[in-house]
Amino acid sequence: MKVLIYTHEYPPFKGGIATSSKKIADILKTRFNVVVCCPKYSNTRSIEMENLKIIRMSFIGGNKFKKIPILQYVQGLMNLKKILINEKPNFLLYLGEEAEIVGGLLNNRSITQIVRIAGSGIKSILENNSFTKILKKKLMKRLYKNSRDIIAVSENTKNLLITSKEFDENNKIKLIYNGLEDEFIGKSKNHQLKNKLGFNDDDFILLTVSRVLPRKGQDNVIRALSKIKNNKIKYLCVGDGSHLNNFKELVKKLNLNERVIFIGEVDREETSSYYDIADAFILCNRTWNNKIEGLPNVVLEAMGRGKAIIGSKNTGTEELIINNKNGFHVNPENITEIKNTIIHTYENKNRLVDMGAYSLELIKRNFSNKIMSEKYIGLFNED
């Protein structure tokens, strides 16, 4: 049995789809032959190992190929056609909006196709009636029609598709949550980073690990922090992104240079140390540019390191939080609500260890890599 995974985001690219693409490939290669068709980035090459082949596609524009979407889709289609002839897979799995567009262009009915959706494509394309989205919408709907299964990563994502007027094949939708590896959960705790970064022992650290974008909500956390007079409450931002300089300017404008620290991009292997020094994890993710969050891997990671979570209502993040048990829900657009929730979290810091333990228990019970593996392998074992 051979499974071909087609995606335009794969490590070393950073982001949820890239992380999930690799995770799914690693799961499937334990039972099947897996081929990953993904972009070529700097210092990457096609490789082949036991049960896994990674074929790197070259795109005009190099690492900036996404900025020329028409060429991206046409080149992706040409590459995919060639690879299908050579590899002859039994299954074709698409991950990411760009991959879905290419899948719609391919219009294949001879291979069993499966699509994994995170939700952003539903809002930005399927439910978007602008003239510029007409063709993309047609291609996405064509792929969904041609696919045997559509994997939703959260109940929120599933409900977005069910309630969409552009989709009426609800029997195809299957919910498979992302999972977290035992190795990440079991790593030894490391608290030494706190002093190395210049924090005092009694500082209260809020942490966001994510790309720096309005969709991730760092800007609204910064605005909320500016309304809190307690200088012991600090905000640590790990990640890079197109709005990093804008958010740094916001910090400067609000006189928060001593309370907000931007770390930049960090390898995933190092992120556990940042989770470990945080008192609470915060992700005020929201709809931006018609894109939403499906089920953020970073929230799973924070929970796996035993952290209480402050997260957004009406997103996949909400499904990971049992209010007042392992964290708190907030309206990501309401600065006052975010401010009050941060203050409440600080004032109840004696509860955070128990709340973090509850987070870890939820991960082990519902969001483990074992559960995710069983569901994906079962999906491809279906007749």
Averaged pLDDT, 234-241: 96
Confidence category of residue 127, pLDDT binned at 50, 70, 90: low
Q: What is the pLDDT of residues 257-295, one digit of tens each?
A: 999 999 999 988 899 999 999 999 999 998 887 677 778
Averaged pLDDT, 202-222: 96
To the nearest 10°, the Cα dihedral for 118, 119, 122, 124?
A: -100
214: cis peptide before it, omega within 30°? no
**Domains present along the chain, CATH in parentheses:** 2-179+368-381 (3.40.50.2000), 182-366 (3.40.50.2000)
* Residue 173 to residue 151: CA distance in whole angstroms: 6
> What pLDDT score does 216 carry?
94
Relative to beta strand 260-264, strand 173-175 is unpaired
- The answer on pLDDT for 133 being more than 80 is no
> What pLDDT score does 168 carry?
84
The better pLDDT of the pair 131, 74 is held by 74
| Cβ contacts of 106 within 8 Å, gap of 6 or more | 77, 80, 81
